Structure 1
Amino acid sequence: MTSLLRTAPRALRTATLTSRAIPLIHQQFRLKHDHLNPPEGNPAVTGRSPPEPPREEAIALKNNTLSGSYLGTTRRLPEFNLNDKVVLVTGAARGLGLVQSEALLEAGATVYALDRLEEPSADFYRVQKRAAEELGTTLHYRQIDVRDVPQLNEIIQSISESQGKMDGLITAAGIQQETSALDYSQKDANMMLEVNVTGTLMAAQAVAKEMIRHGRGGSIAMIASMSGSVANKGLICPVYNASKAGVLQLARNLAMEWGIHGIRVNTISPGYIVTAMVEELFIKYPERRHDWPTQNMLGKLSQPGEYRGAGVFLISDASSFMTGSDLKIDGGHTAW
């Protein structure tokens, strides 16, 4: 098998590895790596300051050919450092939620990923392993559907008790359905709103209660969408768009109510993101791969990694005077 792969055309080797090797790799990870008992890095410690700049910085500052910038140390934008923070991310078993989790880990946070999947994606294990071995922190996993409010509350309270703090939340759990308004069923509409709006509220509520109990304040960032501000041309998603508009308004009201407790609430409104789900959509609607980039000012589609900095910014003290605001990252789609 190995020799055949070596002599096969590159495209065939790639297709073979994609279709056969990835499930095998996932299975091997499951045998050796329990996502519920992750490899651990340094725990979150209250009051711990950012790390001192590395010794290499002093050398680099004397050598004009090397970079002298080390973000997140005592000398370089320490307000971005999350080394003493405990942050939850819903919908983080894969996709945008997992990308946000990895960025938070890189900034030093201890992260708890919450998702309804019994087993997270194969890439989750890579991030979990990297957190402990390269980043000195820990990525935990808790299986929960945001619609199961009693269990959601129990899990969040348990995390708060075990860590002795609760500092941040990114709500990335959400579902999408492309159905015309004339064809939408009550059941499907209710499910969309229950996950995207009520689920977001319930997660934020549970986290806010723990933040208030610990008396340290905190920051909540909700993944909304540019679709909460405009009707997407040619994309028939009336209830999804309404749900994201609901997230925008929900965040403003929570910011108003919880500001007195030092809790900030903001939203991120992404444009079109090329995810595995969207790639499958392009197979069904190939014209969208060409049409969607023409609808924004940059003439391209975004990648999940282009939103990494936004989540870290909103959770960190770098945005300490920002609340009730929406951070649009849509390539100028809604600014025409």
Structure 2
Amino acid sequence: MATELFTLKGKTAVLTGAARGLGLTFATALASVNCNLAVLDILSEPSPSLLALRDYHGIKLEYYRTDIASRPEVTAAVEKIEVDFGRIDININAAGVVMDEPFLTTTDQNIERTLAVNFTGSFLVAQACANSMVTRYKSVHGSETAAQPTTGTIIFIASIATYIASSVQQISCYTASKAAIKGLVKPMAMELAPYGIRVNSLSPGYMMTDMMRGLQEQQPQLVDQFEKETLFGRIGMPEELKGTILYLCCDRASGWYTGQDLLVDGGASTWKHPANLVSS
């Protein structure tokens, strides 16, 4: 029964930011259930770990170097994916950047780059993939938009930062960009539901990504604080999100789930962290 719930054999997922980090973790999870992968990323070459998924799982995997903040590049990439794979069933928008910078001195460069990648890029890729899904829906059902089986699913990657402000990081620009992503979910879910498309977001908590490991070396006290803020006293491992992303992608598991944000944070947002008491 579990195998039937979590299978994506024959389906195609378009992922952004999967050349490394959480995006690579998501790609690994999807490949493990036989999902074909089309990866968009700005890096000239993806991680060898990503390319290894092709042979290890016997799936189709193609890498498209793309600036997701550029509409022409996104359009060209998605059109190529339609030719190469024949269909798009899933879109996961995991590309993201973050810069620790005080709000009062946040630079234009930070604002422009963060919004371009985290919001505009996610919007453009989701829009292009949704149009592809709608076209496929209409080819099967015509103009009819009655209750039909799920045509596709779109997932945005938001953040715990939209739930609680960090006392050890100054990331107002990043947080605003992720809040904007979450703001897309409900209206998109409403607009795309008639075509059988589900739209959700996933908000991870503090995860031990390559970026977090870099912080651990440069600012160990920062990571120590993150650990103290979770109920389990540790940073989450990327592998602990594999089941979550599969749940969101697999129609048999989450076909009734749309328009929502799923927070997976080790309990960090559920309690009031102990504060230092200052005696009067």
TM-score scaled by length of structure 2: 0.88
Q: CA deviation at 1:225?
A: 0.6
Q: Partners of 1:319 and 1:176 in 2: how far apart? A: 30
1:109 and 2:31 are equivalent in the alignment: no
Equivalent pairs, count: 258
- The equivalent position to 1:236 in structure 2, one of 164, 170, 195, is 170
| Greater relative contact order structure (CA < 8 Å, 6+ sep) | 2
- 1:334 is paired with a residue of what secondary structure? coil
Of the structure 1 ranges 157-166 and 82-91, higher mean CA displacement relative to structure 2 is found in 157-166
**Matched residue, 1:315:** 249
For 1:86, the aligned partner's letter is: T
- Does residue 1:193 correspond to 2:127, yes or no? no
Deviations 1:250-300 (A, max 9, x none): 122211211111110101100111122211212221112322111111211
Match of 2:125 among 203, 207, 227: 203
CA deviations 1:168-223 (Å, max 9, x no partner) are 01100010100001111123212111110111110100000000000062001111
**Alignment pair present for 1:143 and 2:61:** no
Q: How far apart are 1:148 and its partner, in Å?
A: 1.7
1:204–1:220 CA contact under 8 A, matched in 2: yes
Q: Which runs of 4+ in 1 moved over 3 A?
A: none
Secondary structure (helix, strand or coil) at the match of 1:221 reads strand
CA RMSD of aligned residues (A): 1.4
Q: Provide the C-alpha distance between the structure 1 equivalents of 2:2 and 2:179, rounded to a whole number of angstroms.
A: 37
Q: In the TM superposition, what are the counterparts of 1:1-336 in structure 2 within 5 Å?
A: 75-130=1-56, 135-215=57-137, 217-317=151-251, 318-336=253-271
Contact 2:189 2:198 in 1 (8 A): yes
- Determine the structure 1 residue equivalent to 2:140: none
SS in 1 for 2:99: coil
Work out the CA distance in 1 between the residues paired with 2:268 and 2:199.
24
Is contact 1:189–1:239 with CA below 8 Å preserved after alignment?
yes
Residue 77 of structure 1, CA deviation: 4.1
Counterpart-to-counterpart distance in 2, 1:270 and 1:103: 16
Tell me, yes or no, if the aligned pair for 1:105 and 1:138 is still in contact at 8 Å: no
Larger Rg computed on CA atoms:
1
Q: 1:123: Cα distance to partner? A: 2.2
Segments of 5+ residues of structure 1 without an aligned counterpart are 1-74
The Cα shift of 1:330 comes to 0.3
TM-score calculated relative to the size of structure 1: 0.74
Q: Which amino acid aligns with 1:157?
A: E
Q: Distance in 2 between matches of 1:113 and 1:257?
A: 26
Give the whole-Å Cα distance in 2 for the aligned partners of 1:105 and 1:87: 10
